[in-house]
Amino acid sequence: MRTIPAHRHCPPKDDGGAPQAELLYGKSRKPRIPALSRSATAWEGGSVREMAQNGGGRIPLLRIAASGLRAARTGKRESSVRHGWSEALAGIKSPHVKYICPHAPFMPVTLNMNMAMPSWFDIIGLSPDSQEDEVGIKKAAENVKALIDQEVKNGIPSNRIILGGFSQGGALSLYTALTTHQKLAGVVALSCWLPLRSSFVQGAVGVNKEIPVLQCHGDCDPLVPLMFGSLTVEKLKSMINPANITFRTYSGMMHSSCIEEMMDIKQFIDKHLPPVD
Q: Is 133 a catalytic residue?
A: no
d(CA 24, CA 7): 29
Residue of 15, 122, 133, 221 with catalytic role: 221
d(CA 203, CA 237): 9
Say if residues 203 and 176 touch (Cβ distance below 8 Å).
Answer: no
Residue of 255, 256, 264, 272 with catalytic role: 255
How many CB atoms are closer than 10 A to CB 17? 29
SS3 content of the chain, % helix, strand, coil (to 5): 30, 20, 50
Residue of 80, 167, 173, 191 with catalytic role: 167
| Surface-to-core class of residue 69, CB atoms within 10 Å of its CB (0-12 exposed, 13-18 middle, 19+ buried) | buried
Q: Is 221 a catalytic residue?
A: yes
**What is the DSSP pairing of strand 245-250 with strand 213-218?**
parallel
d(CA 30, CA 93): 22
Q: Catalytic site residues?
A: 167, 221, 255
